[in-house]
A and B are shown apart, each in its own frame.
Chain A
């Protein structure tokens, strides 16, 4: 997994952020971000047919470090990095596709500002509006 993450990063396909233990450098949590888009099909939203987004591709936490809020910390990092990116090359949403069992965690248990977008067969698509995030930091 480390090799693939680095390879993707070298190829500029995705960027991986990790939490590592200070002494051993062991990875205990990670997430990946990449540029993507929402396709509006034949219709348009705000006059465009593809909404630029940051896709939160993978988020994982070592089983030994579950329930320590590492996932929330990673979402914080994802929000800040996405906002930073949006100031250079516009992107409106931070989008995540999560399993249905984790959906309620994102939406209810921890209020992180995620909004529900669509359920798929085995997953749910949620997003945070980066504009709202930026406007509500003060």
Chain B
């Protein structure tokens, strides 16, 4: 039985409404040979720049503060990040 363009559109909308908003339905990530090499190099490289190290440390401090304050925090505190 043929499906009209209108019916196709309705089915497309129905499918979209069934999709789980919290999950991306885009195709699975499968690494290429080059990406595998690049990723391995990046993961074996222990060097990070000072800005990143500083961000990591402030990230930990922020989370500790959040825990200590029982997950209550002023917006002003967040804006200091």
Write the chain B residue with the least CB distance to A74: B78
- Which bucket holds chain B's interface residue count? 35 or more
Task: Tell me, rounded to whole Å, the shortest Cβ–Cβ distance linking B3 to chain A.
Answer: 27
B56 to chain A, nearest CB (A): 5
Minimum CB–CB distance from A95 to chain B (whole Å) comes to 8
Quick check: B42 and A111 within 8 Å, CB to CB? no
Taking CB atoms, residues of chain B closer than 8 Å to A137 are 56-57, 60
- B-binding residues in A (CB < 8 A): 1, 4-5, 8, 13-14, 16, 22, 32, 34, 38-41, 43-46, 51, 57-58, 65, 68-70, 72-73, 75-77, 79-80, 92, 97, 110-113, 115, 117-118, 120, 123, 125, 129, 131-133, 135-137
Q: Does B52 contact A (CB under 8 A)?
A: yes
- Are A117 and B39 touching (Cβ within 8 A)? yes
Closest chain B residue, CB of each to CB of A58: B22
Q: Is B24 an interface residue (CB 8 A)?
A: yes
Total A-B residue contacts, Cβ distance less than 8 Å: 115
Q: Which of B26, B48, B58, B79 contacts A97 (CB 8 A)?
A: B26
Q: Bound complex: CA of A66 vs CA of B58, how far in Å?
A: 21
Q: Digitize B1-35: 1 where CB-to-A-CB distance is under 8 Å, 0 elsewhere.
A: 00000000000000000001111101011111101
User: Is the CB–CB distance between A43 and B33 below 8 Å?
Assistant: yes
For A65, the closest partner residue in chain B by CB is B75
In the bound complex, what is the Cα–Cα distance between A68 and B80 (angstroms)? Answer: 9
CA distance A22 to B72 in the complex (A): 8
Determine if B63 and A77 form an interchain contact, defined as CB atoms under 8 angstroms apart.
yes
Taking a contact as CB atoms under 8 Å apart, the answer to whether A136 and B48 are in contact is yes
- Chain A residues with Cβ below 8 Å from B22 are 4-5, 8, 13-14, 16, 32, 34, 57-58
Bound complex: CA of A5 vs CA of B21, how far in Å?
9
